Amino acid sequence: MTQTLTIARMGHHGDGIADTPNGAVFVPGALPGEVVRGEVKDGRVESFELVEASADRRPIFSEAYAECGVAPLQHWADAPYLEWKRDVVIHTLQREGLETEVAATVATPPASRRRIALHARRGPNGRILLGFKARRSWRLVEINECPISDPALVAVFPTLRRIADVFLTHPKSAPTLHATLTDTGVDVDVTGVEKRSGGPSADQIARAISAAAEGDLARLSLDGDTLVMARQPRVTFGRASVPIPAGGFLQASPAAEAAMVERVVAAVKGHKKVADLFCGAGTFTFPLAEVASVTAADSAASSIAAMKAAFPTAKGLKGIEAQARDLFRRPLSPYDLKGCDAIVLDPPRAGALEQTQQLPGTKADTIVGVSCNPQTFARDARVLVDAGFRLEAVTPIDQFIWSTHIELVGVFRR
């Protein structure tokens, strides 16, 4: 049934919401205050006519990104968009009964993202397509430019197509090319290549290596196994130059990373020993080691090895001890964390419930949580608050611009 709707507010998943006698109706792409007309089906309007536009609506940066949903909020002006992300964090905390100061959302600039993952398919005419899946579909939306990514990443798209062409010979292969911009060039890891039938031939590998050389890639790997490395991909964390392992994790935006590092280090200044849990290859570890000695742990042995390899490049640090350990199955106990007067956690989206439950038994008076999921952050924060910690402040950070994704840094004091 076609209805005219007034959008009352923005939902937590980035859909405009209209209140009707039959309940809420979700309208992707609509903004608060707008009047739209469209067919309502199962409480949603997938395509609408814009009857009255919001003053906060602006021209989009990329039609392709609008189609695939990578940047579903690119049509919203910066100020209300950033304030909405702050409100999402506030409401998520409130659902757990948590009240605290929530700072303004820290913005990151366009054309600054340093990693991108592109699906590859062969088009009807044999041309290689790189892009993202369309919203609610398996259809591929081709990406030829990217207003979000660093131009140096966009510049290697032709090389990525040549590499994808090599690995698309098997009908079951569906390659995804993970490109990361490092201090020494672009690092590419390819996943989704069919291997059960024998995997790529020696000739295919040779052609992929040739394409990587022609494109001046720093490294090309297949499922984390290096095929060729012209230069060791390295990134700078604090004073250290870290050799990133193939397929290793990095924060998506250097600007967002810098904002997080600044707040984490500021929160623990004055402490003597800090635990950095879910540390990766040392994003926070090396900056923290400039102000305190650090005990670091992460489940990825390759990341811990990269961190240790970087020790000689960083001078004047307070000291770092690092270990590979699954903090979900074997969280560090209060005994393991003996002597740590501050603790930093940067877990994956699932949060760190098992590890968080160990922290009240430590002597730490400061805990800093870095999270890419406000829901699991709030769940874990409830554990700490119930144990006597106070959630002092939270800062949202817009690492994935124009998306519904929210990063944050929260500081707890005992």
- Render pLDDT for 364-379 as a digit per residue (tens, 0 to 9): 999 999 999 999 999 9
Whole-angstrom distance, CA of residue 291 vs CA of residue 303: 22
Residue 375: predicted pLDDT: 97
Do residues 32 and 54 lie in contact, with contact meaning Cβ atoms separated by under 8 Å?
A: yes
pLDDT value at position 51?
97
Which candidate, 314, 277, 271, 325, places its Cα nearest to that of 293?
A: 271
Asked if residue 286 lies in contact with residue 237, where contact means CB atoms within 8 angstroms, the answer is: yes
Question: How is residue 154 written in tokens?
Answer: 């966009």
**Which residue in 345, 342, 346, 296 sits closest to 317, CA to CA?**
296
Q: Report the pLDDT averaged over residues 47-76.
A: 91
Residue 237 in this model has a pLDDT that exceeds 80: yes
Asked if residues 26 and 15 have their Cβ atoms less than 8 Å apart, the reply is yes
- Model confidence over 282-325: pLDDT tens digits? 999 999 999 999 999 999 999 999 999 999 999 999 999 999 99
The whole-angstrom separation of Cα 353 and Cα 347 is: 10
Contact 247, 224 (CB under 8 A): yes
pLDDT band at 256 (very low <50, low <70, confident <90, very high): very high
Torsion from C-alpha of 166, 167, 168, 172, nearest 10 degrees: 160
Task: Give the strands of the sheet with 185-191, arranged side by side.
Answer: 140-142, 128-133, 115-122, 176-182, 185-191, 219-222, 225-229
Task: Check pLDDT > 90 for residue 139.
Answer: no
- For the cut 90, the answer to whether the pLDDT of residue 124 exceeds it is no
Please indicate whether residue 372 is annotated as part of the active site. yes
Average pLDDT over residues 200-205: 91
Q: Which residues contact residue 360 at a Cβ distance below 8 angstroms, ignoring those fewer than 6 apart?
A: 383, 384, 387, 388, 389
Q: What pLDDT does 290 receive?
A: 97
Select, from the ranges 111-125, 127-141, 363-377, the one with the highest average predicted confidence (pLDDT). Answer: 363-377
Asked whether the beta carbons of 353 and 383 are under 8 A apart, the reply is yes
The overall average pLDDT reported for the chain is 95
d(CA 25, CA 103): 30
